[in-house]
Structure 1
Amino acid sequence: MFVIFGASGKAGGVTAAILRKAGQSVRAVVRNTRQAEPLAAIGCETVTADLTDPGSVRAAIEGAHTVQVLCPVPTGVPDPESAMRKMIDVAADALCAAPPAHVLAISDYGAQLEAGTGITLLFHYLETRLAPLAGRLTLLRSAEHMQNWARVIPVALQNGAFPSLHQPLSKVFPTVSAHDVGSIAAELLLDAAQRSNQPRIVSVEGPRRVTVLDVARALSDVAGKNVKAFELPRGEWATAMRAAGLTESHARLITELHDAHNAGKIDIEAGMTERRFGTTTLPEVIASLLSAHGHAQAV
């Protein structure tokens, strides 16, 4: 039995679908019954679980041979850091108490760093808490998801410009499609290679690294409208994020992350990881995001 947490998400849903296509038994863990319907339609067993509730997490992994863990950064809560640490603690306690044969945790580029990385520091905590699983553990460190640019599309289409915290705009950084993360996760879950007594660390990014200028160019080409990016002054970041509805705590985590990104710290752990590359390009993801936004693509 393969248990997939976050199975209704962009990455987890792909993992679950590939496993089912391969003929595997899949238990899809979701937050509510509405999210379960499309997963049940492809033959998954579905269960609902509260990631902060030890009992429901233990029940979700009962009888599992393999578990994929995804702890999302909570939104709409006053202190997302504390909330995510609680989810990590609940998951780690359950998995370490009754270890499955294989656990794959979706982590983050830069998770090897011990301080000063904001949101990414929470994935360092995830890796640390799961470390006792040793050779049973695969850490899939993902570059920034291309789908995150969906947040700027309404502003970009309305104003012909969007603000960037990635600075300078010409800075090259790794990204990846969430679809490719889910696909490569499935490959790793199905990999029956002999394991060592150490965690397996795999880094995944897209076919090529990009700049914010590439994002603006892709938006312009696909939307048929000239779109430019501009550097949001560092002193205005907190105000802009608060205006977008983020709490002060959440804004701080994002600020610390982008400070680390802009300093070149968020990257693979050189010499310490396997590397995988997705095939989905940035323009392809931008096109799908614009379609989801209801914007007709340029012919």
Structure 2
Amino acid sequence: MFAIMGATGQTGGMALAAILEAGRQARAIVRDPERARSVVGEGATLAKADLDDIDALTAALTGVEAAYVLNPVSVVADDVFAAAARTGAAIAEAIRRAGVPHVVALSSSGAHHAEGTGIVRSLHRFEAVLRGAAPSLTFIRATEFMENWGGMLGVAAEHGVLPSMRQPLDRREETVSARDVGRQVAQELLRPHAGERIVNLKGPAEYAPEDAARALSELLGKPVTAVATPRAEWEDGLIAAGLGASYARELAALYDAMNAGRAAFEPVGETRRGSVTLKEALAGLLAGSPG
């Protein structure tokens, strides 16, 4: 039995599907089983647990041979780091209490830095609190998700522009599809080991914002131009999109770090590349859009 957190999300959903396709049993850890069933499907069992509830998490993790864990920070938390610290501590304690033998945890490029990486600092702390919680521990440090362009697709389709906090617009950087992350998670769940392993996960190639705009031009059948969003507008724009002030500030700080090259991979661990191209990821987003 494999336990999967985030089974209704991008990486967890793909990991769950891959585990089931491999003929293994899976337990999806969800907040609302009734709502999750329509997303998860009938192949997995469901375990109800809030990620801050140590007792519920312990029950959900008991008896599994491996678990996929992640620390999704609430975008409206008053203090994103305090919220992430509470959740991370609860997850680590539940792993210890349940005696989970093998854990795969989602992290990020740049997570080896204690400071200077904005919201990724929460994952630096998540890694720290998980160390020693299980005898076999794998951190998947993924680069920026291609699916992060999803929030801009409506603007691109309507106005023919693709606003970008990634700058300069012609600089190609590492990016990976959440689909590839989920598939890698499944592979790592089936690969227990002694001690700690780091897997750095990248996409099949590097891409620039201008590459995303060109791909969208082809997919939408209309010209799309990448445009640099001025730094002074980042936080207000993120808040207007529904993020809390704390998350908006730290997400903007992450893009500062990425643009300055401070969120790159640490030269340790194993490196893997996914197969989903940026155009394929964008096509998937468009296919899932209303209308």
Task: Please give the TM-score of this superposition, normalised by the length of structure 1.
Answer: 0.92
Return the letter of the residue paired with 2:281. Answer: V
Per-residue deviation, 1:71: 1.4
Residue matched to 1:209:
206
2:172 matches 1:176 = no
Per-residue deviation, 1:73: 2.3
> Counterpart of 2:133 in 1: which secondary structure?
helix
Task: Please give the TM-score of this superposition, normalised by the length of structure 2.
Answer: 0.95
Residue matched to 1:36:
37
1:242 counterpart (225, 239, 242): 239
Most deviating of 259-268 and 230-239: 230-239
For 1:294 and 1:227, the matched residues in 2 are separated by: 20
1:12-23 matches, cutoff 5 A: 12-23=12-23
Residue segments in structure 2 that go unaligned for 5+ positions in a row: none
CA contact (8 A) 1:156 1:227 kept: yes
Aligned pair count? 290
Residue matched to 1:147:
147
CA contact (8 A) 1:135 1:200 kept: no
- What CA deviation, in whole Å up to 9, does each residue of 1:70-117 have, x standing for no partner? 111212333333222211111011113343110000111111111011
Per-residue deviation, 1:40: 4.3
Per-residue deviation, 1:38: 4.2
2:274 matches 1:273 = no
For 1:173 and 1:134, the matched residues in 2 are separated by: 33
Return the letter of the residue paired with 2:23. Answer: G
Residue matched to 2:217:
220
User: Once superposed, what is the RMSD of the aligned Cα atoms?
Assistant: 1.5
For 1:212 and 1:267, the matched residues in 2 are separated by: 17
1:58-137 matches, cutoff 5 A: 58-133=58-133, 135-137=135-137
Per-residue deviation, 1:54: 1.4
2:1 matches 1:4 = no
Most deviating of 213-222 and 134-143: 134-143
2:144 matches 1:166 = no
CA contact (8 A) 1:204 1:277 kept: yes
CA contact (8 A) 1:137 1:200 kept: yes
Per-residue deviation, 1:294: 4.0
CA contact (8 A) 2:101 2:134 kept: no
CA contact (8 A) 1:12 1:182 kept: yes
Return the letter of the residue paired with 1:258. Answer: Y
Return the letter of the residue paired with 2:153. Answer: I
For 2:286 and 2:154, the matched residues in 1 are separated by: 9
CA contact (8 A) 1:30 1:36 kept: no
> Counterpart of 2:132 in 1: which secondary structure?
helix
Identical-residue share of aligned pairs (%): 39
Residue matched to 2:250:
253
For 1:25 and 1:245, the matched residues in 2 are separated by: 37
- What CA deviation, in whole Å up to 9, does each residue of 1:122-149 have, x standing for no partner? 1101100011236510001111111111
Residue segments in structure 1 that go unaligned for 5+ positions in a row: none
Residue matched to 1:288:
284
Per-residue deviation, 1:36: 2.4
> Counterpart of 2:266 in 1: which secondary structure?
coil
